[in-house]
């Protein structure tokens, strides 16, 4: 079982290098992280963008890019469809967002004819190493699904469960978060959380213990839960935190990163291949961890039904 992000890098190095199509690669920050991951033996990049711009940005970070690693497109709006095409046609194993907006890449991925859709929901998972928590913690969905309904939440959980199982956690514990731990019909996330608990019991979510609703404190602290009269195997030992919506997930993950010094990897699950969505504000470590996680996932068994 993997308990640290560095272990993901170590393990992924055994499976690398994997071919990564980078959409809009002409950016120093992006290229620096690609260079680092390549030096670690994790990846071989296919840098999609304008050749001259890629070479100029690469030079700025001391990265010698050979011509066979550049896939030239003249216009920035061609980069996402081209990178997706490289994956679809088997020329790349992983897709990575370079210097472009998340929704632009996601639209190319979701394109019905030319994209990378499967019959599953696409969702994002942040895998966080928080110094004050005893194991890796997945936070989902902080980047894709804006206001998921009940069935989408079940699919988001299943994607995160598949990720944790790929890391060796056979029966991950999932806390469905809300602002309170009792059901209040005026707070819809409490109803969803209770339904998700029952759905897991009835086999509508597989390979996971799901409980909720939890306020954040009683998901993370067994003591806090017991004080509220909650005795759940998930309290204080959650592997996955399901956020009620995108805003909550995003605020939670950034809060852990900036105020609790968490390190993190981020990955999109549910497409034909793992997708790395990095943001401009991500530290280089997060990009390496995310690429390593993507490499590891290329080896994962088929997702749960
Ligand atoms: N998984 C699978 N299919 C999807 C998903 C998904 N998560 N989302 C939409 N689809 C399919 C729909 O079924 C439909 O067939 C088609 O895609 C278009 O659906 P729309 O019109 O509902 O979706 P869009 O195109 O408006 O938006 C989809 C996005 C994922 C781009 C959108 O949800 C979005 O912008 N999310 C936030 C992305 C973002 O900015 N994140 C940054 C925060 S860090």
pLDDT tens track, the chain, 305 positions:
888 999 999 999 999 899 999 999 999 999 999 999 999 999 999 999 999 999 999 999 999 999 999 999 999 999 999 999 999 999 999 999 999 999 999 999 999 999 999 999 999 999 999 999 999 999 999 999 999 999 999 999 999 999 999 999 999 999 999 999 999 999 999 999 999 999 999 999 999 999 999 999 999 999 999 999 999 999 999 999 999 999 999 999 999 999 999 999 999 999 999 999 988 778 778 999 999 999 999 997 777 66
CA 124 to ligand 1: nearest atom: 7
Q: What pLDDT does 279 receive? A: 80
Q: Is the CB of 44 under 6 A from ligand 1?
A: no
> Top-level CATH class of 5-118+271-297?
alpha beta
Q: Is the CB of 193 under 6 A from ligand 1?
A: no
Nearest CA residue ID for atom 31, ligand 1:
103
Q: What pLDDT does 283 receive? A: 78
Nearest CA residue ID for atom 30, ligand 1:
144
Separation between Cα atoms, residue 267 and residue 163, nearest integer Å: 9
Residue ranges per domain, the chain? Answer: 5-118+271-297, 123-259
CATH number of the structural domain 123-259? 3.40.718.10
Q: Is the CB of 122 under 6 A from ligand 1?
A: yes
Expressed in angstroms and rounded, the spacing between residue 39 Cα and the centre of ligand 1 is 34
Q: Is the CB of 110 under 6 A from ligand 1?
A: yes
């Amino acid at each position: 079982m993997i308990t640290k992000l560095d272990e993901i890098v170590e393990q992924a190095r055994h499976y690398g290098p994997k071919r990564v199509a980078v959409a809009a690669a002409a950016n120093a920050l992006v290229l620096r992280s690609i260079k680092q991951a390549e030096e670690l033996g994790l990846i071989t990049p296919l840098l999609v963008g304008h050749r001259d711009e890629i070479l100029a940005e690469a030079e700025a970070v001391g990265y010698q890019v050979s011509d066979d690693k550049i896939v030239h497109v003249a216009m920035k709006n061609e980069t996402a469809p081209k990178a997706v095409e490289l994956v679809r046609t088997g020329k790349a194993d992983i897709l990575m967002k370079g210097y472009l907006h998340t929704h632009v890449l996601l639209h190319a991925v979701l394109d019905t004819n030319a994209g990378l859709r499967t019959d599953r929901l696409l969702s994002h998972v942040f895998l966080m190493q928080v110094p004050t928590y005893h194991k890796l913690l997945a936070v989902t969905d902080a980047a894709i699904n804006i206001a998921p309904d009940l069935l989408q939440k079940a699919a988001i959980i299943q994607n995160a469960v598949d990720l944790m199982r790929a890391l060796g956690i056979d029966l991950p514990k999932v806390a469905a978060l809300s602002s309170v731990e009792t059901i209040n019909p005026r707070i819809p996330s409490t109803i969803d959380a209770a339904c998700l608990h029952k759905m897991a019991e009835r086999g509508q979510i597989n390979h996971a213990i799901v409980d909720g609703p939890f306020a954040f404190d009683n998901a993370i602290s067994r003591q806090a839960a017991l004080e509220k009269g909650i005795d759940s195997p998930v309290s204080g030992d959650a592997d996955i935190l399901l956020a009620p919506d995108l805003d909550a997930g995003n605020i939670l993950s950034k809060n852990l990163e900036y105020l609790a010094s968490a390190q993190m990897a981020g990955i999109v699950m549910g497409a034909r291949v793992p997708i790395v969505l990095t943001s401009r504000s991500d530290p280089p470590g997060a990009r390496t961890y995310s690429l390593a996680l993507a490499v590891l996932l290329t080896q994962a068994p088929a997702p749960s039904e």
